[in-house]
Chains A and B, each alone.
Chain A
Amino acid sequence: MPVGFIFMRWDEKAGNEILAKYPEDLDVSNRTLMQVFHTHEYTGEPGMISLMVGTTNIASYYTGLESNYCILVVLGLGEDPDEYEGSLADVAQILLQNIEGNKFLKLSPTVYQHIRDYPFFNSEQQLIYLYQNEIKRGIITRLRDEGIVSKSELITWLKQTYPDGFGDIDLTLFEFVQKDFIQMLSVKDERSVILFLINDPLMFRIPPFKILKNPFGKGLPKNFEATYINSCDLFFQSYNPSEEDNVKVINILNEPQTYELINLLRDRVISKENFEKLKKSGIKDIEDIISALLETKLIISFQDMGGIEYYALLTDFFIENFIPEYILNNLNSYLENRTKSNHVLSKYLNLLEEAYIDSLITEKK
């Protein structure tokens, strides 16, 4: 578990300036901080470095020469710094967006919690986390429409579309590139780097198959079985996947404790009494979580004659990466109308072909 983090800025005259620390008594010597900055300065590039200074295990993310900020995380001795890379780029982005009026100061506990939890996210949670960010959703939506966009064009568009929320483009794109959603490449005769959509996160609700196969066996009293199955059927008769609904679900599942509960409910029906036990085992705000899940129609509740309440999944959620096959329509029209260069089209076709073959070969390995 990380010991804590320091958010700091390098100033040519004043040296390193600590802007926030969590916990506040976290002790890292000035010499170590200097060493971290100098290591970043050596590359000059935004990104993460890891280093051991004496017995201090450090992962540090640098925002680049232009802004000169750094998030330094002190890790436990045996921890692998690479596991923190994805979260640090995001945390840096959040802190930078809250520089004005020192708003970032209030965020320290949440930031620490996120840094701590992120390495334990499974692939589904990582996708959920990525997609809950409005600006990142905007980028994906734009790429779904076009497949290809130049980095300079994207920056201009983001500044216009999200005047208050958009920060550093490299930090914003970091996880997309890491997780193979987007490839960013220089292409012959193009002035700006080109972004290509390689994977598209598809998502929608699905019936809770495991529970539906045998609700009684999964803990639902026999007398509620028919109503439960009917309720699920009824929901899916009128359900149409939509971005609005996906965002609602994503925002709820993005909370680690809520996700943990949904994972439990994927396997069994849980009574109120069992929820109380979960409270004792560390899941807080259980009432709030339940009411949010009921409101979003992710769960349904039943009350028996004795007043015992049971909670079962009404809908489950599916989120996966897919090769955007539909984008070939765009490529065909770019080709017909000559709106993109042949170098760009050729590069994109090669990337899609490689990704498609990889996805088939690695599937079910």
Chain B
Amino acid sequence: MAVYIIQSKLENLKAVRDWLGKTLLDFGVNPRTRHAIITATNEIVTNIIVHTYREDPGGKVGVEVDYQGNTVEIRICDFRPGFRINLKSSTDSESGFGLRIVKSLMDEFFHFHDEKGNNFVLRKHVPTRVRSR
């Protein structure tokens, strides 16, 4: 398992993608699946920065990645208790593309809110035979 925490600034998106790409490479995930996971994660982190924190750089976003069996699981969270993000309206506000991309690329996707803030879980099944460095 690996964890990465950023300040809620859009300029940090590239750092998240780079970190996640390297972590998935270390896990042996194939390039196509890496790109899918990175793209979906990027959409959720962007959503949190823009809609939870309204780009206030004082906020934080956490990304956790784990690879168990043949499934990569990504957990993305904000740290804003009491603010329940409206996923549909926030991702549909510009184009609706963000949510569509996440749902298309991931095998499982859900969102819940707890006492710490919003949590997003993405899961992608990786066929063992295409795992590679």
A, B bound: no
